[in-house]
Amino acid sequence: MSDTIDRSADISQPLDRLGPDERLKYDSDYLRGRIDEGLLDRITGGVRFEENKLMKFHGIYQQDDRDIRDERRRQKLEPAITFMVRVRLPGGVCTPAQWLKIDDLARAHGGETIRLTARQTFQFHWVVKEEIRPTIQGLHEVLLDTIAACGDDARGVMSTANPADSVRHAEVAALAKTLSDHVIPRTGAYHEIWYGKERVATSEEEEPFYGRTYLPRKFKIGFVIPPSNDIDLYTQDLGFIAIGGPGGIEGFNVAIGGGMGRSDQDPATYARLADVVGYIPKDRLIAAADAVMGVQRDYGNRAERSRARFKYTVDDKGLDFVKAEIERRMGTPFEPVRPFALDSNGDAIGWRETESGCFNLTLYVESGRVANRPDRPLMDGLRALAKVHKGAFRLTPNQNLIVADIAPEDRPAIEAILAAHHIEEGGGASALRRNAIACVALPTCPLAMAEAERYLPELATKIETILAQNGLTDEPITMRISGCPNGCSRPYVAEIALTGRAPGKYNLWLGGGFHGERLNRVVLDNAGEAAILDTLEQTLGNYARERAPGEHFGDFLHRSGFFAGEEAR
């Protein structure tokens, strides 16, 4: 990484005054720990607590099947442990050959399903310990990896997937890849553990930027190309808003300090929207990322993990201080913010012609779940499509899929494959479903308190009935469900959001901005479905009757005084 980084404030505090994760990282020999040994241990299907934490930096999470957890306990058996493996896919772009390999690996090791995530990548679930290495080596064959797909480092870099704009998309997606390659850890641990490479002795610093303790917490970067805000720019730790003219991208407005994660038990944690602090020319992109991450590395809270995200650093140190420190490290001040407008969020499902005369097809994939259902063999269909497709695939931030760069003469073949596999572009989804995101939650997520992905279809059907009764069927409304307050579906910017509290119980949040520009507010606490539907019936009914032309649901709730008297959260 850049030599310009000033590490003077880097962690020089005694480790024993810091959180246990700092010691773990420090002692891990740059993320090696005893992962190798853990993989060979046949007594358990899992790994030790420490290795589980370290493996996250390698994009791997230990989980167990929560549907059968109690039964296994009753039988005095170890939980049914498997691993989730998350691919690093900057900008969500992959080739047909890569898709085919992902499909092969999912069939061989991943329970015959692929999960497209809210940060535009693939996840394999259900991978048993012995099959992690073959999975990662298989990915390596098509130049994919899982480095830093989580962990206290900069992970999956997002980029607008907008199918109507291929030229700027290509430029920004390439920058997302360059930046992602730049910010991943440098340690040789990944190559040694997963590819079996020999450790190379070197006198060079193994992690010139991160050091032995990496970042205080995960760090998320995203690029947005206005007017679409499909990546939910304001929820990123570091967001870049592309500014350009006819000649291409000229530079970026920079947004810092966004984040969703919060805990119901801890009022000191909260969702926060990023602040747009200035503009940088394109050639300052890497310097800006280094500077922002450097500030978080050096000033982030390493004593209290629940307050370690960059958003808290920004609030605790003050936006002015953080901005000035970034500028000092960049060596140049930010230029004034350039005008921009974000006016949409979800994906435009269906066919779009591009500037070059090709076509992009956006397919609706409910909750990003690619699997074969008897009535819709989506996984087989996409495999067949990948075999003939000559363009690229783009995973969208809304968990959908774009089949990109289809030549006009190839369109009939693609349409025939889709028809043969009963894959409609929109999957028969209403406007509500098309603008909905659900996190994985049960049965694999260890943190889930309630269902999300598995509940979305049922809940959406019930809300669709309310919408139909009020003539709102075609009205786009953003809806997000998360199985816990961590907010993996970015719920706190949605117009309607549910966050899990307990089985069948959710907090209901309303009033977010349609294009992700405003946080919503909690309206019901720990509520069951009946109470949630009641509230929606009432508010959506009012919306149908009293809305102004073109007014979004969240905006209406604010204008109509629904939150009157409440303090802004």
Q: Which residues bind ligand SF4 (CB under 6 A)?
A: 439-441, 445, 447-448, 452, 482-484, 486-488
Q: How far is the CB of 160 from ligand SF4 (least distance, A)?
A: 23
The site map against ligand SRM for 205-224 (x = CB under 6 A) is: -------------x-x----
Tokens for 221?
């970067």
- Per DSSP, the three-state class of 525 is strand
Q: Which residues touch 77 (CB under 8 Å, ≥6 apart)?
A: none
Residue 483 touches which of ligand SF4, ligand SRM, none (Cβ within 5-8 Å per kind): ligand SF4
**398 contributes a contact to ligand SRM by CB under 6 A:** no
Pairing assessment for the beta strands 436-438 and 401-406 based on DSSP bridges: unpaired
User: Given CA atoms 556, 559, 560, 562 in this order, what sign does their dihedral have?
Assistant: positive
119 binds ligand SRM (CB under 6 A): yes
Cα–Cα distance measured from residue 508 to residue 510, given in angstroms and rounded to the nearest whole number = 7
As a whole number of Å, the CA-based R_g of the chain is 23
Asked whether the beta carbons of 555 and 512 are under 8 A apart, the reply is no
The answer to whether the beta carbons of residues 236 and 252 sit under 8 Å apart is no
Nearer Cβ to ligand SF4 (358/441): 441
State the CB neighbour count (10 A cutoff) for residue 266.
11
CB of 253 to ligand SRM, least distance (A): 19
Restricted to residues 336-375, the positions that interact with ligand SRM (CB under 6 A) are: 368
CA distance 238 to 293: 9
For ligand SRM, the binding residue among 447, 465, 502, 528 (CB under 6 A) is 447
| Helix segments in 80-188, DSSP class H | 96-109, 132-141, 166-183
Question: What mask of x and - would describe binding to ligand SRM in positions 135 to 164, judged by CB under 6 A?
Answer: --------------------xx--------
- Residue 52, H or E segment: helix 49-57
Q: Which one of 25, 88, 101, 218 is the catalytic residue?
A: 218
Name the closest residue to ligand SRM (Cβ): 261
Touching ligand SRM, residues 277-316 (CB under 6 A): 309
479 - beta bridge partners?
436, 496
Q: Is 94 among the catalytic positions?
A: no
Residue 482 interface partner, choices ligand SRM, ligand SF4, none, CB cut-off 5-8 Å depending on type: ligand SF4
Among 259, 294, 511, 516, binds ligand SRM (CB under 6 A): 259
Q: Least Å distance between CB 525 and ligand SRM? A: 19
**Options 484, 501, 505, 521, the catalytic residue:** 484
487 contributes a contact to ligand SRM by CB under 6 A: yes
CA gap 318, 337 in Å, rounded: 19
Residues near 512 by Cβ (< 8 Å), separated by ≥ 6?
Answer: 478, 492, 493, 494, 495, 497, 518, 519, 520, 554
233 binds ligand SRM (CB under 6 A): no
CA distance 157 to 173: 9
Cα 150 to Cα 257: distance, rounded to the nearest angstrom: 18
Identity (one letter) of the amino acid at 69?
A: R
Catalytic annotation on 445? yes
Identify which range of 12-20, 39-47, 75-83, 436-444 contacts ligand SRM by CB under 6 A: 436-444
Q: From the candidates 352, 394, 488, 505, give the one annotated as an active-site residue.
A: 488
Closest CB to ligand SRM among 110 and 368? 368
- Which residue from 329, 490, 501, 518 is in contact with ligand SRM, where contact means CB under 6 A? 490
Using rule CB under 6 A, residue 260 touches ligand SRM:
yes
218 among known catalytic residues: yes
Binding-residue total with ligand SRM (CB under 6 A): 29
Binder among 358, 414, 440, 460 for ligand SRM (CB under 6 A): 440
Largest CA distance in the chain: 71
Q: Which does 484 bind (CB under 5 to 8 A by kind): ligand SF4, ligand SRM, none?
A: ligand SF4
Q: Is 229 in the site for ligand SRM (CB under 6 A)?
A: no
- When asked if residue 255 is in the footprint of ligand SRM (CB under 6 A), the reply is no
CA distances in angstroms from 287 to 171, 176, 179, 283, 338, listed in the order given: 18, 14, 10, 8, 19
Choose the catalytic residue: 94, 150, 358, 439.
Answer: 439
Single-letter amino acid, residue 282: K
Instruction: Please give the single-letter amino acid code of residue 386.
Output: A
**Which one from 53, 86, 129, 217 is the annotated catalytic residue?**
86
Alpha helix (H) residue ranges in 362-407: 378-388
33 or 516: CB nearest ligand SRM: 516
Q: State phi, psi for 481 to the nearest 5 degrees.
A: -125, 130
**Does residue 439 have an active-site annotation?**
yes
Degrees to nearest 5, angle at CA 473 with 471 and 474? 110
CA 347 to CA 118: how far, in whole Å? Answer: 12
- Catalytic residue ranges: 86, 155, 218, 220, 439, 445, 484, 488
Binding site for ligand SRM (CB under 6 A): 61, 63, 84, 86, 117-119, 121, 123, 155-156, 218, 220, 235, 259-261, 309, 368, 439-440, 444-447, 486-488, 490
